[in-house]
Amino acid sequence: MAGATEALPDSLVIAPQWIGDAVMTEPLLRRLHARGERLAVGAVPWVAPVYRAMPQVDEVIELPFQHGGLQFKARRSLAKQVAGRFDTAYVLPNSLKSALLPFLASIPRRVGYLGEARVGLLTHRLKNPGNKPPMVAFYSALSGDKGGLENDRPQLRLPQAQAAGALAALGLLPGGYYVLAPGAEFGPAKRWPTLHFAGLARLLDRPAVLLGSAKEAALCDEIVGAAGPGRCIALAGRTSLEDAFALIAAARAVVSNDSGLMHVAAAFGVPQVAVFGSSSPRHTPPLNGRARVLWLKDDPSYQPPLDCSPCFQRECPLGHTRCLYDITPGQVLALLSAPGFAPPAN
């Protein structure tokens, strides 16, 4: 539980199942908290740590659901446990199954976007935009507020003791390493090549810590082998998400694809370079004044132009993925080395 108090929360938020999307919901939760709503967030276990790093969340309810399948029995059982606790539910994902829990719990006011034939499950429905709007604005609109926050950038917070403990366990000092996040859960069309990550690691002036999920461990091991001895520490699948947060928050800078960890780095305000290919920084940008984006679609000097980008596909439909292969380690290093970009070297 985050920030437990005597009174029960009066609003239930059904969270997305992706880490990056979860980070981008923070401005919505900040809006709801600012107007006096007490918040419980229902989140799957791999996303729950994101909400524990949001001070405005009073309670995190871990949902015993997996990707895929309706799992109606489990939803009905949990609905009985939370029935009568909440006045409002905000259903952030667009799926039918995500709206079932608030409906089965008879929460009086159920807010969400239209989609997947769930008209009868929601009491307050927003029209789903046909284009791909910025995701922070997409989630924040569920509050019903017209005005913007003074700062709409997602923000995460970690207890200092937790951050210090994670670094001490690995013998690392704040600012003494870079974080590279070479994975992207969505698919290979969002991943900068492993050989490019390895080439960058060879160019850096201090070690690189490789972070990701257990599914990305082989990817990180490949980078370690190609980068050479002593250049990288592979931790994909070997840390908790909370410890990964601590490592990101204390890094000299972070280099990533368009991924969940990119949004985590942005929410901690860390200097970062985000490499985009098949997706668009207009839709899911790293909302961080210290972020730099590399996207060849926006580079007028790059020829021939990338008319195929953004395709938003898991794999390159044309089979070349040059939107990523043609971004060089030297280009990333130039941004990392730009005056004033990262903290002064120790």
Looking at residue 116, what is its pLDDT?
79
pLDDT in tens, 266-312: 999 999 999 999 999 999 999 999 999 999 999 999 999 999 999 99
Calpha distance 92→72 (Å, rounded): 19
Q: At residue 332, what are phi and psi to the nearest 5 degrees? A: -65, -45
Interval 165-172 mean pLDDT: 88
Going along the chain from its start, the domains and CATH numbers come out as: 11-143 (3.40.50.2000), 160-336 (3.40.50.2000)
Res 5 pLDDT > 70? no
Distance CA 240, CA 246 (A): 10
In the predicted model, is pLDDT for residue 195 greater than 50? yes
Q: What is the pLDDT of residue 128?
A: 87
- Write out the H or E segment, with its range, that includes residue 109: strand 109-113
Residue range 225-244: mean pLDDT, rounded:
94
pLDDT tens digits, residue range 30-81? 999 999 999 999 999 999 999 999 999 999 999 998 777 788 999 999 999 9
Taking residues 207-211, report their average pLDDT: 97
Confidence of residue 4 (pLDDT cuts 50, 70, 90): very low
Q: Which residues contact 301 (CB under 8 A, 6 or more apart)?
A: none
What is the predicted pLDDT for the residue at 79?
A: 96
Query: Model pTM?
Result: 0.92
- Average pLDDT over the chain, rounded to an integer: 91
Q: Which residues make Cβ contacts (< 8 Å) with residue 324, sequence separation at least 6?
A: 189, 191, 192, 193, 275, 277, 278
The model's confidence at residue 148, banded by pLDDT at 50, 70 and 90, is: low
Model confidence at 345, in pLDDT bands (50, 70, 90)?
low
Rounded distance between C-alpha atoms, residue 108 and residue 339, angstroms: 54
Rounded to an integer, the average pLDDT of 99-123 is 94
Per-residue confidence (pLDDT) for residue 7, from 0 to 100: 60
Tokens found for residue 117: 């034939």
Q: In angstroms, how far apart are the furthest CA atoms of the chain?
A: 62
**Per-residue pLDDT, 1:** 44
> Is 197 a residue whose pLDDT tops 50?
yes
Q: How far is CA 59 from CA 18, 94, 187, 192, 232, in A?
A: 19, 23, 32, 37, 37
DSSP, collapsed to helix, strand or coil, labels residue 208 as: strand
